[in-house]
Amino acid sequence: MPRSIDNIAPSGNRGFTLIEVQVSLVVLAIGLLDLAMLQTTGLRYNTNSYSRTQATYMAYDLAERMRANVPGFQAGNYDVSSSAATTIAGSSSYSCNLPSNNNCSCDTGTCSNAALAQYDLGQWYYDLDTLLPGAKDAANLSTPKRATITRANNVATITIYWLEQNRDASSTNPTTPTSQSWELEVY
């Protein structure tokens, strides 16, 4: 006489394997969600790290421009306050970088130290807005923050502001700019 399935499993354990499978699926789903959150957090920190690297690169770029034009630096032509930064970003030196503008005097000829400093600042602010997108976002806040350059004796302090993702996961629209400042001695 063949054995039926009803006789093989004891009557108190029916469906127990199904519950084990469901619990293991819940544990697997939680693990996959944690993995996705870890990937998202890693991507956010990687983007923030990229922004800091670009800000460092831009600060050293401006420092090298100042070192190449020491008389302009010593005359205070590179000193930029927040309000002056907005003016520079709207100047013809800034627009020298646009493909439609081919008549920039410092590109093709000689110019004074003051004109070279204005040209350098226009180029630098354009590059800053291009390479560090958060810098342009910080400039568009209700209280705009632009990169500033201050000078005391031969020491220049370059402060760059940009927006990056906040470190807590609850905010997806950051409104507080991150700033980093560098002090560089220019002779």
**pLDDT one-digit tens code per residue, 77-127:** 888 886 676 677 666 666 666 555 555 667 677 788 888 888 888 888 888
Directed axis angle between helix 113-131 and helix 82-89, to 10°?
Answer: 90
Judged by phi (left if over 0) then psi (alpha if -120 to 50, else beta), residue 80 lies in: beta
How sure is the predictor about 131, in pLDDT bands with cuts at 50, 70 and 90?
Answer: confident
Per-residue pLDDT reduced to its tens digit, 2-14: 665 555 555 566 6
Q: Answer whether residue 58 shows pLDDT above 60.
A: yes
The average pLDDT across 21-47 equals 89
Question: Could you count the other beta carbons within 10 Å of the beta carbon of residue 116?
Answer: 20
Instruction: Classify residue 80 by its DSSP letter.
Output: B
Listed by start position, the domains of the chain span 13-185
pLDDT number for residue 169: 44
Q: Answer whether residue 163 shows pLDDT above 80.
A: no
Share of the chain above pLDDT 90, in %: 14
Residue type, 72: G
Instruction: Return d(Cα 32, Cα 27) in angstroms, integer.
Output: 9
Q: Answer whether residue 60 shows pLDDT above 50.
A: yes
How sure is the predictor about 30, in pLDDT bands with cuts at 50, 70 and 90?
Answer: very high
pLDDT number for residue 27: 94
Average pLDDT over the chain, rounded to whole? Answer: 76
In this predicted model, which residue has the larger pLDDT, 72 or 86?
A: 72
Length of the chain: 187
The average pLDDT across 138-145 equals 67
* Cα–Cα separations (whole angstroms), residue 102 to 48, 68, 93, 107: 35, 23, 11, 9
